[in-house]
Structure 1
Amino acid sequence: MKDNFIAKRLKAFKYAGRGAWMLLKNEASIQVQAAIAVLMIVAGFYFDITTTQWALQFFAIGLVMAVEGANTAIEEIANFIHPDHHPKIGYIKDVAAGAVFFAAVIAIVIGCIIYIPYFN
């Protein structure tokens, strides 16, 4: 019997959860991002930020974690395809890391917009 739509979605969710766990367990960059996310969540409770600020903060956390995960996947694929140093592979990896940089800068800006007023 073929899997139905819901069963397929549940399997996909299971695989995604496993991938998230693998990232958190094995990748230092994701571990650092997760630790920062926990600190920001604690700060949100401490400063009693608004619902809109919570939404922006979780958007920023999700954006950075998602792009960091995609960057890790791109690096793994690049290393698998061409384990030795190659200028094109280096370019691909640098561009993927640049995407993480953009996401991190946006997260920092969002964090500053949320938290700087609490220190004035």
Structure 2
Amino acid sequence: MKPTRFIESVNCAIEGILYTVRTQKHMRRHFAAALVVMTAALLVRVSPMEFMLIALAVSFVLFAELLNTAIEVVVDMISPEFHPMAKVAKDVAAGAVLVAAFGTAILGYLVLAKYLFPFHRGVLAMVGTSSEMGTIVSVIMVLITVIILKSLTGKGTPLKGGVPSGHAAVAFSIATSISFNTQDPLTSLLCFVLAVMVSHSRLLLQIHSTREVVMGALTGTLVTVAVTSVFRALG
């Protein structure tokens, strides 16, 4: 029955939000990301106007995910069997969430960048700038480490399968070296985005599991940081 009192309407709305959080993993991730972004905004002390923009953008993403879930439920109710038009409806709704999330990411970057960039440069400066030789040695050491780890686990080959993912390890090693060389936050961010895309492709091709890709990313990053630190100490 349609709620007749305001408090009943509010309870229904809250139940809808709880249902979405309980059943949709993407909604849980959106809430987690919102918590991180809002906390970061408070810690760096953004202006009231900037905080308002971030809050509005976050709310828009959550709204889009709620609407997407509502459309999915209605489509499943009307068309429980597979239908091409039902797929289109769900894909378009999911596309709306993606557009909202992309716009929010851009806004969050533009607002928080000026606060986080000095901290980013300071952290990179603590390790040092990677030399040309250091970069080459880092990649070689990452490859050797990957081969050793794969030989110990007895799974996969140097170029396919096994623990850890060699593609992810090399991609994150290169991204880390570029970050040290440039010490530019935007360049660093874009390089790590490319590294994530390379790693994700291994999942899409079903060559590696998420655990193997994450281990590869950690291997590439940690080995490169260690080699760069050693070169700085020796230099």
User: TM-score, normalization: structure 2?
Assistant: 0.47
User: Which residue is equivalent to 1:25?
Assistant: 22
Residues 1-120 of structure 1: matches in 2 within 5 Å? Answer: 8-118=5-115, 119-120=117-118
CA distance in 1, matches of 2:71, 2:12: 18
| More relative contact order, 1 or 2 (CA 8 Å, 6+ apart) | 1
More helix by share: 1
**Structure 1 gap ranges (5+):** 1-6
CA distance in 2, matches of 1:84, 1:25: 24
SS of equivalent residue, structure 2 residue 81: coil
Greater C-alpha Rg:
2
CA distance in 2, matches of 1:25, 1:92: 22
CA distance in 1, matches of 2:41, 2:70: 30
Shift of 1:10: 1.5
SS of equivalent residue, structure 1 residue 84: coil
Shift of 1:116: 1.2
Q: CA RMSD in A?
A: 1.2
User: Which residue is equivalent to 1:4?
Assistant: none
What amino acid sits opposite 1:36 in the alignment? A
Runs of 4+ residues deviating >2 angstroms: none
SS of equivalent residue, structure 1 residue 83: coil
SS of equivalent residue, structure 2 residue 28: helix
CA distance in 1, matches of 2:88, 2:18: 28
User: TM-score, normalization: structure 1?
Assistant: 0.89
